[in-house]
């Protein structure tokens, strides 16, 4: 699917080095690296993992309207740490909410299959109050970049994105437990132990809500898939 390839291409641009789950970092203040079991636990591991350089929450799905029109959608939130753990110790005083180690990028796409039209857009910001961020509280993970957002807990996922000429507002309900990739979530990418990520997917998400095209909201329902990976 073209929208999935675009999202993966953006992810590859961000992915400089694979790392891992060990909570100790090297004396040269490197990023955390994953060298063994991920020991994933939910809902905690739905949330962000600062200290790991790259992380992403990736949704893609197939939808249709009551009149039979078909749509494909994609929404991805990327978190990119721009300095290793511990770098903040050298920041000047006093502390400021506007200093950050995190960069957030979001990409959205909507394929109007019936009309053979493809829409896409993106947002980007450093982590700043009101502009971008990710946190978890009382089992609820919240991620946003400007007015695009993801809210995720054990019972539902709420997606919202609006760009030039298109958008969507969707509620997704897991029909299956998370599927852990590789060895219980420890996903090897190369020959060395640290060439790995922690990786899981929701492989069947019942989806309903609306998509908008040129300002017209269209009720839709269908199924979706979600990947969450950090390294």
In this prediction, residues 135-148 reach a mean pLDDT of: 97
DSSP strand pairing (216-230 vs 196-213): antiparallel
Q: Does position 139 have pLDDT exceeding 70, yes or no? A: yes
pLDDT band for position 98 (50/70/90)? confident
Residue 29 pLDDT: 56
Give the model's pLDDT for residue 177: 96
Is the predicted pLDDT of residue 204 greater than 90, yes or no?
yes
- ∠ CA 117-122-124, rounded to 5°: 180
The per-residue pLDDT for range 156-185, each reduced to its tens digit, is 999 999 999 999 999 999 999 999 999 999
Q: In angstroms, rounded to a whole number, what is the distance separating the alpha carbons of residues 42 and 44?
A: 5
pLDDT of residue 22: 38
The distance of Cα 82 from the centroid of its chain, to the nearest Å, equals 17
């Amino acid at each position: 699917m073209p929208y999935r390839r675009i999202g993966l291409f953006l992810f590859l641009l961000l992915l400089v080095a694979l790392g891992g789950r060990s909570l100790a970092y090297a004396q040269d203040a490197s990023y955390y690296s994953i060298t063994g079991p991920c020991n994933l636990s939910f809902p905690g591991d739905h949330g962000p993992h600062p200290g790991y350089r790259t992380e992403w929450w990736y949704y893609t799905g197939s939808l249709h309207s009551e009149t039979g029109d078909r749509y494909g959608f994609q929404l991805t939130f990327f978190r990119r740490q721009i300095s290793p753990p511990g770098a903040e110790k050298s920041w000047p005083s006093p502390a400021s909410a506007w200093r950050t180690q995190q960069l957030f990028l979001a990409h959205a796409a909507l394929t109007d299959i019936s009309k053979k039209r493809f829409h896409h857009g993106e947002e980007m910001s450093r982590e700043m109050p009101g502009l971008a961020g990710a946190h978890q509280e009382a089992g609820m993970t919240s991620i946003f970049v400007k007015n695009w957002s993801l809210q995720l807990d054990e019972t539902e996922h709420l997606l919202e994105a609006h760009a030039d000429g298109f958008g969507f507002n969707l509620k997704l309900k897991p029909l299956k437990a998370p599927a852990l990739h590789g060895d219980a979530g420890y996903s090897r990418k190369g020959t060395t132990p640290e060439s790995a990520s922690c990786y899981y997917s929701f492989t069947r998400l019942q989806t309903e809500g609306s998509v908008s095209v040129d300002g017209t909201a269209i009720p839709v329902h269908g199924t979706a898939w979600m990947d969450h990976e950090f390294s």
